[in-house]
Structure 1
Amino acid sequence: MEGEFINLIPENLASEHVSCIIRTKKVHQGIEGKRQWLADRLKEGHVFRKLNEKATVFIEYAPCETAWTPIIGDNYYYMYCLWVDGAHKGKGYASSLMEYCIADAKEKGKSGICMLGAKKQKGWLSDQSFAKKFGFQVVDTTENGYDLLALSFDGTLPKFAPNAKKMEIESNELTIYYDKQCPYIDQYIQRIKKYCELDEIPVNWILVDTLEKAKALPCVFNNWAVFYKGKFETVNLVDATYIKRIMKK
């Protein structure tokens, strides 16, 4: 199975498909935004490993020190995403990718691996029940049900940064923090903008475009976060139906 996977590197990034966007038939800005984001991150130790074919089968992780998320985890890897979709499920690919990440972490002398989860599994977050089969355990929580899971090799544990547990901002407007890591984000932005313009709903879009901004965020964050009336709502990519629902609060 080893030969079936490849890692994205500067030399193949332009020619290889970004496998988490494989279901999208049209080329759009999100894809190129993802490629550029990756180009800047690969030199920081970011890993994007995927099945060597056009399929949504991949893992993405990075050193916690340079991961765009408000988590403190010295010498840890942060796993952004582990995704196996469609007909490729049930073939052992997810286990192979997780095992690769664990082996890579141990080889590089890391203290462990961590990932974002929730007390109730949420869309766009990796399957925490699957991670727990490999020894991941909840090591920190927020008051609104988000968990930090970790697989520790040396007994040290990561934690949410204090600002990540704030879950509040001063603005009462619909506010969305986002970065360009996920190629789907651009599509969701355009849909939400269209809906909000038609209904004259003010939206505050905040592009997280530096590591410093990501580490200072007032909420848990994988690549997207929604606030309304000053309160954190979700890390899930959301559509107009969701916006309509929270606007009724």
Structure 2
Amino acid sequence: MGEQFKNITLEHIDEEHICCAIADKKHQCGVTNKKEWMRERLTEGHVFRKLDVRGKVFIEYAPLEKAWIPILGENYLYIYCLWVSGAFKGKGYGKALLEYCIEDARRSGKSGICILTSKKKKPYLSDKKFIETYGFKVVDTVEAYELLALSFDGTKPTFTEQVRHGKINSKRLTIYYGQQCPFIPHCVEEVRNFCEAHQIDVNLIEIDSLEKAKAVPCIFNNWAVFKDGKFESVMLLNEGHLKKWFACDKE
């Protein structure tokens, strides 16, 4: 590995590639939104560490108390995303990024690190088997989703209580979304346009504060979908997904 890693700072955030949407023009609004979101988070201890190349090789984490997810715990780090893609796979970059996070946590006197995964691999979530090789253990479970933690002192983070119910008092298609992921604004636009064109009642709820993020009534890692009052998934939706979804309903 001859390339160097770097941490994004306020001084260089405007010039840096900081996400997985590198050249896709339809996601440039999302890139701008993410940078705006990150500017405030960096002062709270948020870390975005990337390989110094134009590629998808990065880890993003933050103090759990400041992490925009419905997980509670004290003195932990929460890993939002660990992503190595394409030609960069198989070169030890994921290992280097995760080990940096672990050393950062130990050096900072943290109680541990946690991350959202699933029993079976799901889109947008890190691979459970890879994370477990570093000593992470399942500390909480809600249906197919699992909270893994590497505890240094025996303490354990947990999902919030409202997450466990996975229901809301509405039959409307309901989507909770944040601005951290650069793909989200375009997905929101596609969902809104599709629902308007097909007269589908949709409720799009932007999570624009830490308090709202901690209070989301389901598993959430920037995006969460409810259908007929029941939590469905954290998978981003677009027009193609919706066509299949609602076509199935009519069969």
Cα offset for 1:193?
1.8
2:194 partner SS: helix
- The one-letter code matched in structure 2 to 1:211 is L
Indicate yes or no: 2:69 matched with 1:63.
no
1:100 partner SS: helix
Cα offset for 1:20?
1.6
Deviates most, 103-112 or 235-244: 235-244
Q: C-alpha distance in 1, partners of 2:2/2:115?
A: 24
CA contact (8 A) 2:27 2:186 kept: no
The residue that corresponds to 2:132 in the other structure is 132
How many residues are treated as equivalent by the alignment?
248
CA contact (8 A) 1:228 1:246 kept: no
* Alignment map for 1:207-222 (pairs within 5 Å): 207-222=206-221
TM-score (norm 2): 0.94
Q: C-alpha distance in 1, partners of 2:157/2:62?
A: 14
The residue that corresponds to 2:149 in the other structure is 150
- The one-letter code matched in structure 1 to 2:96 is S
The residue that corresponds to 1:204 in the other structure is 203
Q: C-alpha distance in 2, partners of 1:124/1:45?
A: 23
The residue that corresponds to 1:189 in the other structure is 188
Q: C-alpha distance in 2, partners of 1:50/1:2?
A: 14
The residue that corresponds to 1:22 in the other structure is 22
Distance change >3 Å, CA 154–CA 2, structure 1 → 2: farther
Cα offset for 1:243?
2.8
Cα offset for 1:2?
8.6
Structure 1 unaligned residues grouped into runs of 5+: none
The residue that corresponds to 1:92 in the other structure is 92
Q: C-alpha distance in 1, partners of 2:217/2:8?
A: 31
Cα offset for 1:145?
1.3
CA contact (8 A) 2:6 2:52 kept: yes
Q: C-alpha distance in 2, partners of 1:28/1:97?
A: 26
Distance change >3 Å, CA 71–CA 208, structure 1 → 2: same
2:36 partner SS: helix
CA contact (8 A) 2:3 2:51 kept: no
The residue that corresponds to 1:37 in the other structure is 37
TM-score (norm 1): 0.95
2:20 partner SS: helix
Structure 1: 4+ residue segments shifted above 6 A: none
Distance change >3 Å, CA 27–CA 240, structure 1 → 2: closer
The residue that corresponds to 1:115 in the other structure is 115
CA deviation profile, 1:175-216 (whole Å, cap 9, x unmatched):
000000000111111222222121111110000000000001
Structure 2 unaligned residues grouped into runs of 5+: none
* Alignment map for 1:73-88 (pairs within 5 Å): 73-88=73-88
- The one-letter code matched in structure 2 to 1:29 is C
The residue that corresponds to 2:12 in the other structure is 12
CA deviation profile, 1:209-236 (whole Å, cap 9, x unmatched):
0000000110111100000111000011
Distance change >3 Å, CA 63–CA 174, structure 1 → 2: same
Cα offset for 1:25?
4.6
Cα offset for 1:132?
0.6
CA contact (8 A) 1:19 1:50 kept: no
